[in-house]
Structure 1
Amino acid sequence: MKKLWMLLLLFPFLVSAKPQTDTTYRCPPCGNTCDNVSFSKAGTCAHCGMTLVSKQEKDSITAQKKISICFYLYDGVEVLDFAGPMEVFSYAGFNVFTVAKTKAPLTSQGILKINPDYSIADAPPADIFAVFGGDDNVTTNDPEVIAWIKSRDKATQSYFSVCTGAFILGKAGLLDHLQVTTFHRSIANLQSAVPSAKVLSNVRYVDNGRIITTAGISAGIDGALHLVAKLKGKDEAKRIAAHMEYDKYQAEQGLIVR
């Protein structure tokens, strides 16, 4: 009886000592200021529109190693070639940063001004190196930049190109003996530039394991979603595609070289 009375006396203290579960909701990592905003109930973020997650889910996501991806840009780069994949990777929580030969502002399609985060002199290493189409001769004909790309190879886990950005990877010797693709009007030219490769037409992207090349513009979004699915799962890619209202996305619609 004495033990029972002791338990009854201690019960309020035992209950109050129990850890309280945080019932607030957070915006999943999207790279915007709303990453730090809390919400009292489930739903969508009022700022970016993404589906909210619990604090525990947010902590689990942020505890994972953040994948870094270097976007190499140059004067005349195609806006949608890099902007579409940039949105995909941003919503996937990747650490995206831009690099150019120098930190001088770039102009895309004669309209959009871009201030690179880094130059090739001070750019940090990245898990993924990405290049894009446009006036790609600016880079393919620049021995200093090509040498810089080659110098980072050991620290780079994988490569991603959109449209004629494949010519840049080809010039760096990264496409030799692979199956690859590019912008539909540049298939023959890439085949001439990289004769040992097999350049494919009528395919959205080609995944060789370490290197993903895509066709033009919208195919870059397909390839980016494929890369997210590969690294974070198909459900994550589907979530991002739905958020972007990119109803064209279909899992594994490109060529995956086994």
Structure 2
Amino acid sequence: MPTIQNFIFISFMLFSYFGFSQTVEISGMVNSFVEVENIHVLNKAEQAFTITNAQGEFKIKAKLNDTIQFSSLVHQSKYVVVDKNIMMFKAMRVMLEEQVNELDEVVVGKVLTGNLFSDINNVDGKAPINFYDVGIPGYTGRKKTQSERRLSQAGDFKPKMLPGMLLGGASFDPLINAITGRTKMLKKRVEHEECEALMRSVKVRLASDFFRSNPLDEAYRMEFFYFCADDPNFVKRCKNQTDFNILLFLRSKYRDYMQNRSEGSD
């Protein structure tokens, strides 16, 4: 009897693994307090892209642990990792928050706000001391994103860490996260967010100049930049590069993009 139970258990685990590793079509619904039509839905892992209809409905292909991004001009971008429940029901529902663009505050004269450091900068007198003045080391670099913090907490397992874990001197979390695939998933998410941020930075800086000499309908410009970001060499060609080199890359992708659109319309 134990042998039969073990066989059933192993069969179930194999069925679940191979079932969830397959790419399926997921039906989804986007909810929001503002407009839900024409929201971009992107799954870079499957090279899949679509937009929502007037009811916020969409369909997109995905597999377990894929990250699906939702973005629009009036919503805050959101990332959803495809879990086992989504794979099982082949459905998902996403709530998006409105993107609020606050205007800069206009202050006339010297107004005290109640914030100590703000008020010190707003009155006559000497500037407050900082950690350099008193010889205390401090961090002034870029703040980590939420995904980067989660990746740091998950740990990156190395074989040399195993003796310390077995002797009780180190946590088993890095090993567990490596086995379950959580660390790999978080690394992919960090890379995806870095690529997304770079793509938006390139768009803001260069879109106006680029489309002046490379005409493209406004409705397809965001799709074009996602097309560029899907290139495996996108980060290498655009990160820490001069605007001239980036424009050369965009120009090469523009030709490919227009050719794809031409073939798709035939």
Band the TM-score falls in, shorter-chain normalisation: under 0.3
Name the one with the larger helix percent: 2
| Higher RCO (CA < 8 A, seq sep 6+) | 1
Please give the TM-score of this superposition, normalised by the length of structure 1: 0.22
Please give the TM-score of this superposition, normalised by the length of structure 2: 0.22
Computing the radius of gyration from Cα coordinates, the structure with the larger value is: 2
